[in-house]
Structure 1
Amino acid sequence: MPKSASTLIEKAVVRHESPRLSRLLDKAFAMAFKGLVYAQIWEDPVADMDALQIGPESRIITIASGGCNALSYLTANPHSITCVDLNTAHIALNKLKHAAVRHLPDYANVRRFIAEADHPSNVETYSLLLAPHLDEATRRYWEGRDIVGRRRIGAFTRGIYKHGLLGNFIGLAHILARLYRIDPAEILGAGSLEDQRRVFDERFAPIFERRLVRWLTNHPASLFGLGIPPAQYTALAGEQRMADVLRARLEKLACHFPVNDNYFAWQAFGRGYGRGAEHPLPPYLQRGNLPLVRERLDRLTVRHANFTQVLAEADDVSYDRYILLDAQDWMTDGQLAELWSQISRTARPGSRVLFRTAAEPSLLPGRVPDAILDRWEYREAESQAATRADRSSIYGGVHLYALRP
């Protein structure tokens, strides 16, 4: 990763005013975050689109992450989408997915390359059909070598969703489960929510009582693989033991939504999307949506930059849908104030801001100056509905703010 990109991440993550041990943990996380973290974003775009009320006049700015949600937002027909990310690997992944959507000849090829993402022919597909349309930095990333010397594009022949920080974490969780003679994929064969509940209660729930699991999850570094920095670990745990928090989040993922309508469950328990036509996929990868996504792809731009800085460079009254993922959990009070100052300056009438938090409550009251936050109304009922609807199930809260008239 170029030094400038590394610096962007370290500035965003490291709490320089914190005690030395906290700073060391922050720096360790920043190191881990420099490579690919999320091959698939872990926020539910359907819940987002419902809460944000995206329409033809919507001018969206969002953190890119794995790129799935921005592509899925195109199905709601927005005016424009600006994707911003600090991570070089995420930028390269977004651009590769865009090229695949635009240039692969048909749905079968798009599905093979992005959804299944493990065919031996995918490297040839990349070389012949995608690489000629990519910028030099993106080609350099995918044709470069990973830590063990393999070309990064080869991950699309081995299952890209098994790679990255989160993919590796899920893989280790599967190994741990098998040590206790549990096959995580068992729940994907459940025929009803009742069956899912039975499998969870009988097979998964007892793991969280194991001494090894409780010991492992008691250390902040153990959750780096979920993309959770030390500052967010504290918010996620609250007053509870981390093993109990993780059990509750996994229970929602396993039991609250039918697995035949939850592609996040397939990623968590199966380490990839299902292969059958009946299996769930993100909106942008669904056959019926591909023509719309292709037609609207020019409305989407990608920037390798700090989110607040992009807003600072924008004109007044230039956006009206802001999607912050969980980035605010990392921020100091000063960073939050600067971010919301720029959001407020650039907000068009009717603007909405959506974000997630590791803990359940919104983190803004008392941390963003009242003079800024008073311009925004917290939509509590809609926030609670979005939290319930979020199939990814990893976050404590989904929060929606609307600009006051």
Structure 2
Amino acid sequence: MTYVPNVSGQLRSAVQQNAALSATGLLERLFSRLFHGLVYPQIWEDPVVDMAALQIGPEDNLVCIASGGCNVMSYLAAGPASITAVDLSPAHVALGRLKLAAAEQLDAQQFFDFFGRADLARNIAVYDDLLAPHLDPATRGYWDARPVLRRRIDMFRRGFYRYGLLGRFLGALGGIARIAGVDFRQFLACGTQAEQRRFFDERIAPLFGRRAIRFLARSRAALFGLGIPPAQYDKLEADGGGDILTVLQERARKLLCDFPLGENYFAWQALSRSYRPAGPGALPPYLEAAAFPALKRNAGRVRVLNRSLTDQLAEMPAGQTGAYVLLDAQDWMTDDQLNALWRENCRTAAPGARVIFRTGGAADILPGRVSPALLAAWSRDDAASAAGFAADRSAIYGGFHLYRHTG
């Protein structure tokens, strides 16, 4: 039997923590509504950091949140036994399944043109001729649908990374910068980190003082474009002592200054909504040419499902999951939801299992909220967590956390 989830109910459970008629409750309901559509055309967690922490092996069964699917595909190149990816957004599920079909049906150049360029007219013929016949009905229905005039799949000839909540939000920021006289293309031409830091200090940092940016930053609804729900916004604001602009400017500096520009595709996405054509670190691992044979060989090992992580874990066998990727989903959860998730983590974990997650704030949110009896089966790897946080090129989170199952 095909599982048909109550997506609206699951989204409400995940996001809505306050009364409907409260200001925060209304924002939560708006956010959950927006999450039915495409939020992240590209995921914003660094898969290189993830794979260094997880040390994925051929015996590992992974469970993860799918989001835009980039990291699922990158993990796949490492050759795990299986990946079960879940997401509450039907759009993210459709995107993940499209990537898997493309890995199976296309050659390396066609695959790169579709997801590395994502702005070529020939991508549509590739979809119609080579991909659509191999998609399940729900996924094909999603990409063939015409919400306005064009089919959704048309995004892949118009610049896919310009779409979704994140793509449109980044476009709006670029528009504000241009009005202020700052051309991000000039930053992308910087040849050294010293030039990056100088450009940031002289041209980009002053943007945080402009009225439009201050309005966006202090509007919880405006930051939905970054995929930040109200509960996570509050954690960011707390890290800034009540001023979220301080936090956003600090993280923008890390994104744009702490790594060589040519090696940080997150910076390129933030400023141009595209990838740098070539070079080490210029692409997500799954788009590097060397990864494609493994993607094609292993694509059948992945399931992408439209449901919650806790519900999926509840149906999985005990003691067989080697790695869990929770992204920042726990920032959204109540204490009851956190404990339900970690009960399933404990039940399903194989010996030596690893869990990674990120937090909007700097603090680890588990102690004091998850039952000590549950956490007693896990040990936080402080050194690896600190190293992962320092190396994370996306730079938008306050913390990276690795837990190891100790039984």
With the length of structure 2 as denominator, give the TM-score of the two structures. Answer: 0.96
- Quote the offset at 1:189 in angstroms: 1.0
Residue 122 of structure 2 corresponds to residue 118 of structure 1: no
Q: 1:232 to 1:278 in 2, by over 3 A?
A: closer
Alignment of 1:236 onto 2:203:
no
Give, as a single letter, the amino acid of the residue that structure 1 aligns with 2:7: A
The answer to whether the 8 Å contact 2:236/2:360 transfers is yes
CA distance in 2, matches of 1:149, 1:330: 35
Q: How does 1:297-312 map to 2 (within 5 A)?
A: 297-312=299-314
Pair 1:28–1:80, CA change in 2 (3 A) = same
**What is the distance in 1 between the residues matched to 2:279 and 2:336?**
48
Match of 1:193 in 2: 193
| Equivalent residues of 2:62, 2:84 under 8 A apart | yes
Equivalent of 1:328 in 330, 338, 341: 330
Whole-Å separation in 1 of the counterparts to 2:123 and 2:161: 14
Q: CA deviation at 1:124?
A: 1.2
Equivalent in 294, 297, 304 of residue 295 of structure 1: 297
On the 8 A contact 1:229/1:330 being kept in 2, the answer is: yes
Tell me how far 1:149 sits from its aligned partner: 3.0
Displacement of 1:184 after TM fit? 1.7
Superposition pairs of residues 4-403 of structure 1, within 5 angstroms: 4-16=6-18, 20-104=22-106, 106-146=107-147, 148-238=148-238, 239-276=241-278, 280-403=282-405
Larger mean Cα displacement after TM superposition, 12-21 or 135-144: 12-21
Which segment is superposed worse, 8-17 or 135-144? 8-17
CA distance in 2, matches of 1:183, 1:98: 36
Deviation readout 1:352-396 (Å, 9 max, x if unpaired): 100000001110011001111111111111101000111111101
Paired residues of 2:5 and 2:306 also in contact (CA < 8 A): no
Q: Which moved more, 1:76-85 or 1:324-333?
A: 76-85
Relative to structure 1, the CA distance from residue 342 to residue 17 in structure 2 (aligned partners, 3 Å threshold; closer, same or farther) is farther
Displacement of 1:222 in angstroms is 1.4
The residue type paired with residue 206 of structure 2 is P
What amino acid maps onto 1:374 in structure 2? A
Counterpart CA distance in 2 for 1:31 and 1:179 is 31
Measure the CA separation in 2 of the matches of 1:342 and 1:276: 42
When residues 237 and 141 of structure 1 are mapped into structure 2, their CA distance, relative to the original with a 3 A threshold, is: same
Q: Deviations over 1:94-120 (max 9, x none)?
A: 11111111111x222111111100111
Query: Separation in 2 of the partners of 1:19 and 1:394?
Result: 31
Figure out how many residues of one structure are paired with residues of the other and give that number.
402
Deviation at 1:211, TM superposition (A): 3.0
- Paired residues of 2:262 and 2:276 also in contact (CA < 8 A): no
Q: Distance in 2 between matches of 1:19 and 1:249?
A: 33
1:314-349 deviation per Cα after TM superposition (whole angstroms, max 9, x unaligned) = 111120200000000000000000000110111111
**Separation in structure 2 between the aligned mates of residue 7 and residue 149 of structure 1, nearest angstrom:** 29
| Alpha-carbon distance between aligned partners in 2 of 1:197 and 1:46, rounded to the nearest angstrom | 24
User: C-alpha offsets along residues 286-325 of structure 1, whole Å, 9 cap, x if unaligned?
Assistant: 0111111211112111111110000111111120200000
The answer to whether the 8 A contact 1:61-1:319 is kept is: yes
> 1 CA distance for matches of 2:46 and 2:259?
12
Taking the aligned partners of 1:185 and 1:82, their CA distance within structure 2 comes to: 39
Q: How far apart in 2 are the matches of 1:7 and 1:296? A: 33
Give unpaired runs (5+ residues) of structure 2.
none
Deviation at residue 186 of structure 1 after TM alignment: 2.0
Most deviating of 251-260 and 51-60: 51-60
Q: Name the SS of the counterpart of 2:84 in structure 1.
A: strand
Q: Distance in 2 between matches of 1:108 and 1:3?
A: 36
Q: Distance in 1 between matches of 2:244 and 2:128?
A: 44
- TM-score normalised by the chain length of structure 1: 0.96
Q: Are the aligned partners of 2:360 and 2:397 in contact in 1 as well (CA < 8 Å)?
A: yes
Aligned letter for 1:68? C
| Partners of 1:182 and 1:68 in 2: CA distance | 30
RMSD: 1.5
2:394 and 2:142 mapped to 1: Cα distance?
28
Quote how far apart the aligned CAs of 1:279 are. Answer: 7.1
Between the aligned partners of 2:280 and 2:232, the Cα distance in structure 1 is: 36
> 1:299 corresponds to which letter in structure 2?
R
* Separation in structure 2 between the aligned mates of residue 177 and residue 69 of structure 1, nearest angstrom: 30
Distance in 2 between residues matched to 1:387 and 1:398, nearest whole Å: 5
Contact kept, 8 Å, 2:275 with 2:282, in 1: the verdict is yes
Q: CA-to-partner distance for each residue in 1:178-222, whole Å, 9 max, x for gaps?
A: 110111222211111111111111110011122332232112111
Instruction: For 1:175 and 1:237, locate their aligned partners in 2 and report how far apart those are by CA, in whole Å.
Output: 25
Gapped regions of structure 1 (runs ≥ 5): none
Looking at structure 2, the residues matched to 26 and 383 of structure 1 have their Cα atoms a distance apart, in angstroms, of 30
